[in-house]
Amino acid sequence: MAKLMLSAFGHGGDYNPDQWLDYPEVLEQDVELMKKAHVNLVSVAIFAWSALEPEEGRYETAWLRKIIDRLYENGISVLLATPSGARPAWMSVKYPEVLRVDKDIRNHHGNRHNHCFSSPVYRQKVHSMNEMLAREFGAHPAVKGWHISNEYSGECRCEYCQQAFRQWLKKRYGTLEEINKRWWTAFWSKTFTDWDQIRSPEANGEMSLTPLKLAWRRFVSDQTLDFIKNEIEPIRRICPDKPVTINTMGFHYHFDYASFADVIDFFGYDSYPYWGSGDDVKTGLDTAFTYDFVRGFGPQNWSLMESVPSQVNWHDTCKLKRPGMHMLSSLQAVAHGSDTVMMFQWRKGRGGPEKFHGAVISHDSSGDTRVFRDVTAVGEALEKLKPALGSKVKSDVALIFDQQNRWALDVAEGPQKDKQYMQTLFEHYRGLKRLGINVDVVRSEADLSAYKLVAAPYLYMLLPGVADKLKDFVSAGGTLVLSYMSGLVDEDDLCFMGGFPGPLKELAGIINTETDALYPYDENGITLDNPPEGMKAGYKSGFMCALINPTTARTVGTYSSDFYKGTPALTVNKYGKGECWYLATRPEQSFLEDFYGMLAGRTNIQRISAALPEGVTVSRRENENTAFTFYMNFTGKPQKVAASGRDMLTGDEISGEYELPVNGILVTEAALGEIC
Amino acid sequence: MAKLMLSAFGHGGDYNPDQWLDYPEVLEQDVELMKKAHVNLVSVAIFAWSALEPEEGRYETAWLRKIIDRLYENGISVLLATPSGARPAWMSVKYPEVLRVDKDIRNHHGNRHNHCFSSPVYRQKVHSMNEMLAREFGAHPAVKGWHISNEYSGECRCEYCQQAFRQWLKKRYGTLEEINKRWWTAFWSKTFTDWDQIRSPEANGEMSLTPLKLAWRRFVSDQTLDFIKNEIEPIRRICPDKPVTINTMGFHYHFDYASFADVIDFFGYDSYPYWGSGDDVKTGLDTAFTYDFVRGFGPQNWSLMESVPSQVNWHDTCKLKRPGMHMLSSLQAVAHGSDTVMMFQWRKGRGGPEKFHGAVISHDSSGDTRVFRDVTAVGEALEKLKPALGSKVKSDVALIFDQQNRWALDVAEGPQKDKQYMQTLFEHYRGLKRLGINVDVVRSEADLSAYKLVAAPYLYMLLPGVADKLKDFVSAGGTLVLSYMSGLVDEDDLCFMGGFPGPLKELAGIINTETDALYPYDENGITLDNPPEGMKAGYKSGFMCALINPTTARTVGTYSSDFYKGTPALTVNKYGKGECWYLATRPEQSFLEDFYGMLAGRTNIQRISAALPEGVTVSRRENENTAFTFYMNFTGKPQKVAASGRDMLTGDEISGEYELPVNGILVTEAALGEIC
Amino acid sequence: MAKLMLSAFGHGGDYNPDQWLDYPEVLEQDVELMKKAHVNLVSVAIFAWSALEPEEGRYETAWLRKIIDRLYENGISVLLATPSGARPAWMSVKYPEVLRVDKDIRNHHGNRHNHCFSSPVYRQKVHSMNEMLAREFGAHPAVKGWHISNEYSGECRCEYCQQAFRQWLKKRYGTLEEINKRWWTAFWSKTFTDWDQIRSPEANGEMSLTPLKLAWRRFVSDQTLDFIKNEIEPIRRICPDKPVTINTMGFHYHFDYASFADVIDFFGYDSYPYWGSGDDVKTGLDTAFTYDFVRGFGPQNWSLMESVPSQVNWHDTCKLKRPGMHMLSSLQAVAHGSDTVMMFQWRKGRGGPEKFHGAVISHDSSGDTRVFRDVTAVGEALEKLKPALGSKVKSDVALIFDQQNRWALDVAEGPQKDKQYMQTLFEHYRGLKRLGINVDVVRSEADLSAYKLVAAPYLYMLLPGVADKLKDFVSAGGTLVLSYMSGLVDEDDLCFMGGFPGPLKELAGIINTETDALYPYDENGITLDNPPEGMKAGYKSGFMCALINPTTARTVGTYSSDFYKGTPALTVNKYGKGECWYLATRPEQSFLEDFYGMLAGRTNIQRISAALPEGVTVSRRENENTAFTFYMNFTGKPQKVAASGRDMLTGDEISGEYELPVNGILVTEAALGEIC
């Protein structure tokens, strides 16, 4: 894998000079202002296909060379984009097959993401374009890497895609007999007797065959990756030393990004939290959750690829960033492992749908604005943080989020329609982060051997090998947390026979016989007769209540009410050198904080910082010798924290109580041996 | 008509062994567990087309014979299904015409109900399949009857259907001149001058011609029945002594089930109430309302054809049935006239959309579960109730619900957009049931001669003959209740001229000049200066207020406020030997209880049980000599009732006060002469 | 332009005798009842195409001549309609091109507005029909004018329309280069290189190119006008002295009606307020707002073309008009400049979707109803108001509402998704009307020279010449009010460079650097340290807060909170002989009342009536010598006003305090010199 070689934290953003080719004075001003704002890295030519190939086969690159040369001369590096995120109109009109089909109607040209990811013509056009770009610019010293397309998303249901889907199914299942068996097609007479009988799930077709829907989700992810492979083939061939990235959308529904790691060198993420929408504490944790997830996509540090210096234009209500928030939110990404702070975009366009989206430079072309000063301050701060460049976030604790499990839950019907998988995971994440620790968010197939504690709530679907992996983890001494709705189905949404949680029965030491669903206005609770240290005697719970019978597990908590009052709601089972907890219902937030606090003690997990005020988060990066600790205040009020080391932004040595102002961030540097 | 011959109350449900042909141990276990659960009747092969005809023209029946033989050997009877509820994929691909069309786009294969009910190919395929099944299994002694297709629903707008619709119109109206006149097509220049100008109402076509929309609703119902006739033709021919049934969906919108009575021998109903969703009292009454409606579809007792032993999987929140509820809800169907308690389904499939739908046997294949014990208890109870088999529910009171009136109200525009017909009828039903009486829910064309009291609120549309029928009923001594929005239009939604309620003017003795609509936050009321016994001096009302002028009627109540304060809101008119009440506004619930209580006294209606606690319902079946009385407690608290006779479930003789536990049911047996 | 020649205020409505040709007694009764109700003007044949041309090319006009003759003989005049609002079915079936296309699917025949406004066939058919009608009836003495089609609305996306759109674009822009530049197509690679690449915005095509969406809105408006020109060509040619009108829908979204003034002689408006829905004060002001807007469409007085005597049938809840409301609401239109009071419709049809829509005559055919008496009373009142016929509403104050600005705001993304342009304008209108003055609602391109005060809040888009017009207005001594989100883009939604409000910077004397958006639960405020007379020290505000830097303006108010507390929120700038106010945020209602009260004093605007109770409105018409003043009470309670002159409805001379009853209206007549 090619590495992104940066000599400093990247600072910059999307730069779209192709919109301004008629405004030479603007282009000149851009570079001057970039230097003033400490910008050192820009993503160029993201939607430039029309400028690069104004008519079929005629490439125009002189303008781009001029731009890149000028940037290089001024010390600014480039992530060069491939322009496949939006096709030129001539292509859509000449080759309608490049456009998507839905409900048997082909789209017209328009919007951004509107290409068929199977179309041979589109694949060929993209390949030729990228080959040309790689030849022209691959060796340019300003170009540090390749920004492939833009925010891949969506799907197509044309006949090319239907054929590709069938090929994908043949590869996965081999025979129709196998599909019929694994997909339980005898129900509702859905047996397939010819490959051509299989089509994508669609509004005017099959919408009830859950394994088909799951397969389609997997196919869309895989076929997009296949499209990406075609995109990067000429780039890899012509300039193998330059890394490729895609700007992901984090928990985006359409892709299992973690499966892209063999193809993509490092991952970008476009982050647009709803700062100022009423609860910055929750927004801050939500953002951290996503960052800890994105960090796991690949082995290299990730990149904050897009963010906004102040307000976006597409929220229902677009708030300005309050003073301090641009610094706090930018460095939060660094705290959680990003080596860049990039923004969309450098300069607001005069027109187009995003003309009011925040940018470093607004329509007044001024470098003397609140926003410009905020951006410049981040640039300066990043320079002070340079010792932390390339350092890593490490954790004793993993929370399993699995995109395939999410898809499987969503296609499953019952016992709650709204599955709330993401909200549930977030509650666990929040409970863990309150302990003042780093948390990794990983897929179910991840290597768990380095962790002390793994939380795997709501793991409805067990992919092949996962049950064994979890058993091995516990057997070797790890602590695992399972919950209601765990271990119900295999990778094709086929229920395990013989009692739930299927292959995890022995590990959990319980049998789950029924699962009650609770209306939002229903309430139950967990009663702990002998609460472990740090836990209370009772907590509220709701949403779902699994009825369980312990086999080898010990009951720690019981239900507080309803006809199953007194039956187990929380159990723990010794298994090998470790233990497996089973949480049978969805508890209130404070339970998760107390519960994970108790487990952290039990498993000797080292905390970065104990007893943080709610809404102050901490994250730590480290390299061989040094720890870089970030304290971040999302509470809207000044807060005190205990910290020591060198304040990297001021250079002061600090020790003991430190007051974080509103939207404040403290970054300390300390030798690894010295920190607690 | 062929009769369903049962030697005991039917107990069982949908049995889908075609899903388990690869699991012989499961099939063997099934029969053992059925016997343990006192199952004596199962519906077989409901979605088995792919198993029965895996490729076109090749029938496979050996597996089914083996299943039916085994059931028979174990004393379990069969309702054999025709598999038209879901076509095999090969048929959809080879003959796309079997699939539905909407908005000019033909569906792809998928889901369940997705067949064109006019397609010649589909009708022929169904006919051949059913002929084969009738020949193969019609004479099998296990087969007690035919379960035709499954939950018919939906509609198609293909060209076959458009042609069939035009034929249906020709038959009904004869000429376009007649249509133009009756449909008032001169408005908005909608005159038809050629039959081909008429199409179904559709999103991209005609949506404003109300009689066309009404005609389409009737056509969909009639064309579905025509499809059914084609389905059962070979069955009737080959085994005329075995009854056919369909599993209806009660108040389902698409069909006027009552018009199916000439074709269907006995009617099934699939019942899935929202037990535990917050108000079991209302849910219990809602369920009773539907049962009393389904009972009227045909002369034979109806069958609870599907129900669930615990939780479904398709409610937004799927609650487990609380202890006692499966017994209560199962016997409630019997109380209201069902001769079976059938469930969906016997065993949960491993896959498919309904794999989490409750079943007698779950994925653990265990007979040692709470659900299995609940089901077994019902089986035992049904055996104790055997003396009541075939007995009938009889009533002095009818509430008119008319599906065609519902359609007509829905296509009508004004004076309220949300017509709330069902809610309004339910309020009247609830008022009547509070009196402790049986209630029949019948269509407007029903024979009313045996009733003492008929409530016909909101009877907007008068089908031909209905006005005379109502007049005859009152004239002969009956008591009739009409309301606002009665007698406005004829069967083609054409307003009566000369004053409302049209042909009911003399009967009601009032003229309805205007009808005010009230917002949900508006309120009016009914003031009774000399309240009849059992009524109060004032009640709230809302929704609509008809302004009326009495001609021959006497004013009993007047409006409490607004500019029509003091004008009549409740009148009564002597007509022949009876009387007709006109309720000009929609009153609060307690009015209906007091009002019908007063009328029950006035008309000497015998109550089964007086003064029941709210939420305890009663229903009575009787045969020549014996009354079987069911007391049911939906209140969530123990309740006392006055009852006497033999407790059929315990065998105890009881008399006087009896305490029903939570979710409790008491069934007494007493000689007809002895009961009050 | 041809004038509508009336000898009295027009009173009547839509008359559809073509629905009743089979009911001769009804047609005879109609005229008798019209005379009784003081009806003198009816709109005839609005949807009569099927009756006029029952088969292609065969015209039937005898029935219509008979109707018009009879009306004429009875002294009733006619606005003769062209029937293009609904095509006959034979035309749709024979020429499908006359029907609209959406998402590549052509509609079937149905509904009302369903014609392609570009279809050559439909244009030709309409032209022939209208030529025939003009020849047959143009000279008839009963016919006072032409009612062209009915409530034009909607759009089509067929290929004819796509071609017409491209032609329209060529005419407006000349070249694709110009479009690419002005539409900023370089963003997202949207550059056009061939005209055929441009299509309408559509759900399955381009939805993100804001100037395209804006262009389409303009095209739809212009193409409809082009369709109208084709409609009226034969009428103008054959009977040039008879005026043509269209019945507009006021603030309807699809058209910029003000641009129709060169084609239409006088404008009708169909008014259906939600009287009785909870806040008649707001409904009364909303209605007045629309009337003051419609009045500005053309130089001739407008016509209330449709209204309802009591309840409509298409509101969610259709309230009866309370006593007095029909008089009040009918004369309100006259107060604001209408010379007619017309209703939909004369008689309720027996069938059709609007059979329950209020009409003068209901299904009982009776003239002895509350509604008939209310209508008759209005007829009598109009006769008493005859001296006011042709008099004009004049105003010192204009509020700029610009349909193109509304479209531009709606296509713009950010900083609030819900732009609330109409609500914002209404708040300003309400603030102005509370002063007891007439208000004109005019487009941004209107001649402003006669006004003392012009409010132009939220004027996001500046059409060519508008900035100069506003500057000239202020320069000459006028007072102008601008607000946040003013002066951001030019006519193609292209942002002004160099600071907002673009070309209004010098006029406003401020620079708008950022614009914060507030959630509904956020609040800020305006603090006035030295409040001008009549204003308070503080007001609440929200929605948006523009951050501004005064250049030459003086700060009058500052923000009350948030990080921009203390920065300017209200400024005033001297410019030439006048001054320009800039309101940076959206204040609570009371601010606008106090603010405009202050400005009215500052600019010496004469009030018709000072200190009216909230919910009592006033409007004045005048001719050369006389002022006709209307006092209207929407408060639901009796209210006192100070008034003098002759009470036109009673003939009494009044002076001093006058009590308006609930729903009361007072119309005084006084010599112009005598009024204050």
Q: What is the pLDDT of residues C209-225, one digit of tens each?
A: 999 999 999 999 999 99
Each residue of B556-587: pLDDT tens digit?
999 999 999 999 999 999 999 999 999 999 99
Q: Is B496 on the interface with A (CB under 8 A)?
A: no
Say if the Cβ atoms of B414 and C312 lie within 8 Å: yes
In the block, tokens 């003031």 appear at B527
Each residue of A197-221: pLDDT tens digit?
999 999 999 999 999 999 999 999 9
Catalytic residue among A151, A155, A231, A427: A151
Non-local CB neighbours of A204 within 8 Å, separated by 6+ positions: A103, A104, B102, B105, B106, B107, B108
Domain count, chain A: 3
- The C-alpha atoms of residue B299 and residue A619 are separated, in whole angstroms, by 75
pLDDT of res. A626:
97
Cα–Cα distance list, B329 to B268, B287, B326, B354, B649 (Å): 16, 9, 5, 22, 15
CB A129 within 8 A of CB A121: no
Q: Residue A586 domain-assigned? A: yes
In the block, tokens 């209370």 appear at A536
Say if the Cβ atoms of C311 and B189 lie within 8 Å: no
* Best CA proximity match to C31, nearest among C142, C144, C150: C142
Do C621 and C522 belong to one domain? no
- Angle in degrees, CA B519, B524, B529, rounded to 5: 165
CATH number at residue A376: 3.20.20.80
Q: Where does the pLDDT of residue B367 fall: very low under 50, low under 70, confident under 90, or very high at 90 and above?
A: very high
Each residue of A269-312: pLDDT tens digit?
999 999 999 999 999 999 999 999 999 999 999 999 999 999 99
Do A293 and A380 belong to one domain? yes
Dihedral (CA of B495, B499, B503, B508) sign? positive
Residue A341 sits at φ, ψ, to 5 deg, of: -130, 100
Kindly compute the dihedral angle of the four CA atoms of residues B321, B326, B331, B336, in this order, to the nearest 10 degrees. Answer: 30
DSSP C450-464: T-SEEE-TT--B--T
Select the residue from A108, A112, A158, A325 to test the C interface by mutation, using most C Cβ atoms within 10 A.
A108
Q: Where does the pLDDT of residue B112 fall: very low under 50, low under 70, confident under 90, or very high at 90 and above?
A: confident
Phi-psi region of C649 (alpha: psi -120 to 50; beta: other; left: phi over 0): alpha
Q: Is A306 a catalytic residue?
A: yes
Chains contacting A with at least 3 CB pairs below 8 Å? B, C
Q: What angle separates helix C589-602 from helix C421-433, to the nearest 10 degrees?
A: 50
- The C-alpha atoms of residue B543 and residue B538 are separated, in whole angstroms, by 17
Cα–Cα distance list, B356 to B18, B125, C656 (Å): 18, 32, 79
Among A182, A185, A194, beta carbon nearest to B93: A194
- The C-alpha atoms of residue C462 and residue C491 are separated, in whole angstroms, by 6
Q: Is B49 on the interface with A (CB under 8 A)?
A: yes
My answer on whether omega of the bond before B415 falls inside 30° of 0, hence cis, is yes
**DSSP character at residue A496:** P
Please list every residue in chain A whose beta carbon sits closer than 8 Å to the beta carbon of residue C498. 363-365
Say if the Cβ atoms of C19 and B186 lie within 8 Å: yes
Each residue of A397-411: pLDDT tens digit?
999 999 999 999 999
Q: Residue C667 domain-assigned? A: yes
- The C-alpha atoms of residue B65 and residue A132 are separated, in whole angstroms, by 68
Catalytic residue among B53, B97, B151, B155: B151
Q: Give the minimum alpha-carbon distance from C204 to chain A in angstroms, rounded to a whole number.
A: 5
Gyration radius from chain A CA atoms: 26
Do B437 and B365 belong to one domain? no
Q: Residue B179 domain-assigned? A: no
Q: Residue C115 domain-assigned? A: no
Non-local CB neighbours of A589 within 8 Å, separated by 6+ positions: A427, A430, A431
pLDDT of res. C48:
97
Q: To which H or E segment does residue A558 belong?
A: strand A554-559
Among C184, C511, C517, beta carbon nearest to A19: C184
ipTM: 0.96
Do C562 and C429 belong to one domain? yes
As given in the structure block, the two tokens for residue B506 are 């003399």
As given in the structure block, the two tokens for residue C381 are 């009142």
Range of the domain at A633: 616-674
Each residue of B391-415: pLDDT tens digit?
999 999 999 999 999 999 999 999 9
In the block, tokens 């609703």 appear at B217
Chain C 260-319, residues with CB within 8 Å of chain A CB atoms: none
Q: Where does the pLDDT of residue C588 fall: very low under 50, low under 70, confident under 90, or very high at 90 and above?
A: very high
Residue ending a domain, choose from C573, C602, C631: C602
Kindly compute the dihedral angle of the four CA atoms of residues C333, C334, C335, C337, in this order, to the nearest 10 degrees. Answer: 90
CB A479 within 8 A of CB A599: yes
Model confidence at A676: pLDDT above 70: no
Please list every residue in chain A whose beta carbon sits closer than 8 Å to the beta carbon of residue C420. none
In 3-state terms, what secondary structure has residue A439?
Answer: coil
**DSSP character at residue B529:** S
As given in the structure block, the two tokens for residue C255 are 């058209």
Catalytic residue among A136, A155, A306, A593: A306
Model confidence at C675: pLDDT above 80: no
In the block, tokens 């009849």 appear at B532
Q: Is A410 on the interface with B (CB under 8 A)?
A: no
Model confidence at B675: pLDDT above 70: no
Say if the Cβ atoms of B521 and C278 lie within 8 Å: yes
Non-local CB neighbours of C434 within 8 Å, separated by 6+ positions: C593, C596, C597, C612, C614
Do C461 and C555 belong to one domain? yes
Q: Residue A3 domain-assigned? A: no
Say if the Cβ atoms of B51 and A494 lie within 8 Å: no
Each residue of C389-444: pLDDT tens digit?
999 999 999 999 999 999 999 999 999 999 999 999 999 999 999 999 999 999 99
Active site residues of C: 151, 306
pLDDT of res. B191:
97
pLDDT of res. A674:
64
Do A292 and A404 belong to one domain? no
Non-local CB neighbours of C520 within 8 Å, separated by 6+ positions: C542
Distance of CA C381 to the CA centre of its chain: 25
* Best CA proximity match to B108, nearest among B121, B93, B120: B93
Q: Residue B163 domain-assigned? A: no
Q: Give the minimum alpha-carbon distance from B21 to chain A in angstroms, rounded to a whole number.
A: 10
- The C-alpha atoms of residue A157 and residue C11 are separated, in whole angstroms, by 59
pLDDT of res. B673:
75
Chain C 148-207, residues with CB within 8 Å of chain A CB atoms: 181-194, 196-197, 199, 201-202, 204-207
Q: Residue B475 domain-assigned? A: yes
Model confidence at C610: pLDDT above 80: no
- The C-alpha atoms of residue B51 and residue B47 are separated, in whole angstroms, by 9
Q: Residue C23 domain-assigned? A: no
Residue A546 sits at φ, ψ, to 5 deg, of: -80, 135
Q: Is A371 on the interface with C (CB under 8 A)?
A: yes
Do B332 and B436 belong to one domain? no
Do C505 and C443 belong to one domain? yes
Residue ending a domain, choose from B555, B572, B602: B602
DSSP lists the bridge partners of residue A654 as A645
Phi-psi region of B487 (alpha: psi -120 to 50; beta: other; left: phi over 0): left
Do C518 and C402 belong to one domain? yes
Select the residue from C158, C194, C413, C567 to test the A interface by mutation, using most A Cβ atoms within 10 A.
C413
Better-predicted residue by pLDDT, C668 or A610: C668
- The C-alpha atoms of residue C42 and residue C81 are separated, in whole angstroms, by 10
Each residue of B461-495: pLDDT tens digit?
999 999 999 999 999 999 999 999 999 999 999 99
pLDDT of res. B674:
65
Do C589 and C646 belong to one domain? no
**DSSP character at residue A494:** P
In 3-state terms, what secondary structure has residue C596?
Answer: helix
CATH number at residue A634: 2.60.40.1180
- The C-alpha atoms of residue A504 and residue A470 are separated, in whole angstroms, by 8
Say if the Cβ atoms of C513 and A369 lie within 8 Å: yes
Do B589 and B664 belong to one domain? no
As given in the structure block, the two tokens for residue C337 are 């400049």
Judged on CB neighbours under 10 Å (0-12, 13-18, 19+), C154 is middle
Do A418 and A567 belong to one domain? yes
Residue ending a domain, choose from B387, B412, B430: B387
Q: Is B669 a catalytic residue?
A: no
Say if the Cβ atoms of C314 and B414 lie within 8 Å: yes
Mean of pLDDT over chain B: 97
